[in-house]
Chain A
């Protein structure tokens, strides 16, 4: 699971949960895989993300170093920043661990890099 994906995951489908966002990350295995840097893509995707959630997620697994907590208005022109964002968004991957719903505490396992968001019939709204 990449952190860009984590930015979109929610547990709001659980019965009794209102927002279910963001999910807390517990990682037992994090890997870094190299991905080609595409500054244009990173610039365009950043406005679609919740940056605060991304920063906290990166910090929680120990990969926030050098990443600003807030975005500079002219971030598109800052290649150093874009490279850092690129790394955190696409290269850092949680291989094993679990996600936790902030409201109910329900855990979603991450195995072989894939978060399992399935719910049982009884858990659904």
Chain B
């Protein structure tokens, strides 16, 4: 068999394999080629391919497409002649001096996985590349690199200077400054910023984040009221793609290179959210011209992240924020400052009354126990007393007759559902109670579960009180599982893909003298305190009606990472594990 025939046969075999992936190879020369055996998964470097093209000066490569995790890649040439020059030169040849023979076929079409990003950077955002040089970067890394940390954040390591950033409330306690101020080595930064027209007094708060590849930070806006109009972020060690989102629906990725300084002011500071996806790689972002406009192209090609240290400098302030950007402003739609009676009224209208009305319909949609709840309940030993606080329809109660289970619930409608659901289990009993004043004896429980309840309390002090009740009812050594809805829904099935791209609705409702945003179901949360619509459907002969009767609004405070842990710590509960499951933050804690 001649060499040509061998190569031919090999290509045919590759073509058959690619066919199963939906890639149809063709015998007819055209401008597109598939490289059958080199791709991202084989450790391909784009530059190697570009070099091959450069040896053939007459040809022009328009596009190179390497999809994540695939062992093949695509080349798009300007003409079929260019493609055939490349094909004839390299097919079946040892091209990379590493023993890899390159095999290729013509293809009719190539995947169109590139995403054009039509939006320009947020107003008020200034990214100064090479703000510091390599020596300065090294000095900063040596100064701030830390090996151990006392932080409880699961996703990354942090350290604070000036004031400790409190993750539960996303602010600082101005009454307890830290002994460690911002190191004087940072002073060169403010001086240098002046040459970019940014003239600022030195900041008084610094948070150092160390991100290992794979770690990220959920999309957020730095809380308005506790911090001033400028936020600075200096990046060390690795470039990263930061995703920016505006509530109008605009979103764009921005490459933040190592040694760059990011200055956030105006809209960028107040009206956009930014975050970093938890992954070990980032897409390569290129530019293309559309008319006269330079447009970002998010390619399917990727680059690996390295360890990145970011220094976030903030200026603390006191009082309510007075910015003109209301959507993300904690001063304009937070329930934090509510008087307790107003908060209680808000919960009466938008939690308790709603649950009474939707009890039957709600109960018909709640059957299965979440896996981690089941896991927690199964390890409860025989003879134990378990309280399910905010038991709802009792779906989490186990049909176990060797433990005492008391279902505490505020809604009588749900409690009736619960009573009939667990009726035949002789060791279950139901009590109507409120978590803030639960009429149960101190230390009466060996175990407590409180599933999807605490997010219905509308102020921090009420949430603290709710967790304090759990601590009061547990006996020393007793354990609780607490879960709440997370603000970050990107890792759950809650988001509907199509909806996320739609423009977010900006509807609001006046409640108890404050304006609360109404959430668009199945989209990422834009706010921490909000109303979530429930489309109520009636029940007839155990069947749901086809059409909703009306829409009711339930109040939620959705939790940031670490916020629930902090509530537990405030009640001296020892957090044993803390995790994210299906859109919820969960902790298992122990009464010491």
**B408-457 interface with A by 8 A CB criterion:** 410, 412, 415-416, 419, 426-427, 429-434, 436-441, 444
Interface 1/0s, chain A 72-100, versus B by CB < 8 A? Answer: 00000000000000000011000000000
Q: Which residues of A contact B426 (CB under 8 A)?
A: 33-36, 90-91
Which one, A10, A38, A41, contacts B441 given CB within 8 A? A10
Q: Is there a chain B Cβ closer than 8 Å to A54's Cβ?
A: no
Is the C-beta of A8 less than 8 angstroms from some C-beta in chain B?
yes
Question: Which of B203-211, B224-232, B397-405, B552-560 touches A?
Answer: B397-405
Residues of B within 8 A of A13 (CB): 437-439
B127 within 8 A of A: no
Most chain B beta carbons < 10 A, residue from A8, A11, A20 = A8
**Residue B248 lies at the interface, judged by CB distance under 8 Å to chain A:** no
Which residues 429-487 of B sit at the A interface, judged by CB distance below 8 A? Answer: 429-434, 436-441, 444
Known A-B contacts A8-B444, A10-B439; the reply to A113 vs B430 at CB < 8 A is: yes
B437 A5 Cβ-Cβ under 8 A? no
* Cβ of B383 under 8 Å from chain A: yes
Contacting pair A38 B402 (CB below 8 A) = yes
Q: How far is the CA of A8 from the CA of B426 in the complex (A)?
A: 17
Cβ distance B178 to chain A, nearest Cβ, rounded Å? 36
CB distance from B385 to the nearest CB of A (A): 6
B353 CB within 8 Å of chain A: no
Q: A35-B426, A38-B401, A41-B382 are in contact. Are A9 and B432 (CB under 8 A)?
A: no
Shortest C-beta distance, A122 to chain B (Å), equals 10
Cα A44 to Cα B402 in complex, Å, equals 9
Q: A40-B383, A121-B344 are in contact. Are A112 and B416 (CB under 8 A)?
A: yes
Whether B431 pairs with A115 at a CB distance below 8 angstroms is: yes
Report the minimum CB–CB distance from A47 to chain B (whole Å): 9
Residues of chain B within 8 A (CB-CB) of A118 are 410, 432-434
Given contacts A45-B404, A48-B385, A119-B434, contact A5 B429 (CB under 8 A): yes
B residues less than 8 Å from A125 (CB atoms): 437
Q: Is A28 an interface residue (CB 8 A)?
A: no
CB of A67 within 8 A of chain B? no
A125 to B465, CA, bound (A): 13
Q: How many angstroms from the CA of A9 to the CA of B382 in the assembled complex?
A: 22
Binary flags per residue of A25-60, CB closer than 8 Å to B gives 1, else 0: 000000001111010110111001000000000000
Q: Least Cβ distance of B573 to chain A in Å? A: 20
B429 and A35 form a contact (CB under 8 A)? no
CB-based nearest B residue for A93? B429
B402 touches A117 (CB 8 A): no
Given contacts A36-B426, A41-B403, contact A9 B431 (CB under 8 A): yes
Structural contact, B385 and A116, CB atoms closer than 8 A: no
Residue interface bits A1-20, CB-to-B below 8 A is 1, else 0: 11011001111110000001
- The answer on a CB contact under 8 Å between A117 and B438 is yes
Q: How far is the CA of A21 from the CA of B426 in the complex (A)?
A: 25
Chain B neighbourhood of A5, CB < 8 A:
406, 429, 431
Q: Give complex CA distance A34, B438 in Å.
A: 29
Give the size range of A's interface with the partner: 35 or more
Q: Is the CB of B441 within 8 A of A114?
A: no
User: Is B289 close to A, CB under 8 A?
Assistant: no
Q: Are A117 and B433 in contact (CB under 8 A)?
A: yes
Are B382 and A35 in contact (CB-based, < 8 A)? no
Report the separation of the CA atoms of residues A10 and B443 in the bound assembly, to the nearest whole angstrom: 12
* Contacts known (A114-B419, A116-B432); A9 close to B402, Cβ less than 8 A: no
Q: Is the CB of A36 within 8 A of B432?
A: no
B188 at the interface (CB under 8 A from A): no
User: Cβ of B341 < 8 Å from any Cβ of A?
Assistant: yes
Q: In the complex, which residues of chain A have a beta carbon less than 8 angstroms from the beta carbon of B439?
A: 9-13, 20, 108, 117, 119
Q: Does A124 contact B (CB under 8 A)?
A: yes
Q: Is the CB of A41 within 8 A of B383?
A: yes
Q: Which of A1, A41, A116, A119 contacts B437 (CB 8 A)?
A: A119
One of B382, B412, B429, B434 near A44 (C-beta < 8 A)? B382
Contact B440 A9 (CB under 8 A): yes
Min CB gap B547→A, angstroms: 31
With A38-B401, A40-B382, A108-B439: A90-B415 Cβ-Cβ less than 8 Å? no
Given the complex of chains A and B, what is the CA–CA distance between A34 and B427 in angstroms?
Answer: 11
Q: Which of A33, A35, A45 contacts B383 (CB 8 A)?
A: A45
Please measure, in the bound complex, the distance between the C-alpha atom of A114 and the C-alpha atom of B431, giving whole angstroms. Answer: 6
Judging by beta carbons under 8 Å apart, are A41 and B427 in contact?
A: yes
Assembled-state Cα–Cα distance A47/B13 (Å)? 74
Give complex CA distance A113, B407 in Å.
13
Most chain B CB inside 10 Å of its own CB: which residue of A12, A41, A124: A41
CA distance A9 to B442 in the complex (A): 10
Query: Which residues from A are CB-within-8-Å of B402?
Result: 38, 40-41
Please name all residues of chain A whose beta carbon is closer than 8 Å to the beta carbon of B401 when the two chains form the complex.
35-36, 38, 41
A9-B439, A36-B401, A48-B385 given as contacts; is B432 within 8 A of A115 (CB)? yes
Could you show 23 A-B contacts with beta carbons less than 8 Å apart? A5-B431, A8-B440, A8-B444, A10-B439, A10-B441, A12-B439, A13-B439, A36-B401, A38-B427, A40-B402, A44-B383, A45-B385, A48-B385, A48-B444, A113-B430, A114-B431, A116-B412, A117-B434, A118-B410, A118-B434, A119-B434, A121-B341, A125-B437
Instruction: Name 8 extra pairs, CB < 8 A, besides A45-B383, A121-B341.
Output: A8-B385, A34-B426, A36-B401, A38-B427, A44-B382, A45-B385, A114-B415, A118-B433
Chain B interface (Cβ < 8 Å from any Cβ of A): 341, 344, 382-383, 385, 401-404, 406, 410, 412, 415-416, 419, 426-427, 429-434, 436-441, 444
The 8 closest A-B pairs by CB, nearest first: A44-B383, A35-B426, A117-B439, A13-B437, A5-B429, A117-B433, A116-B432, A8-B444
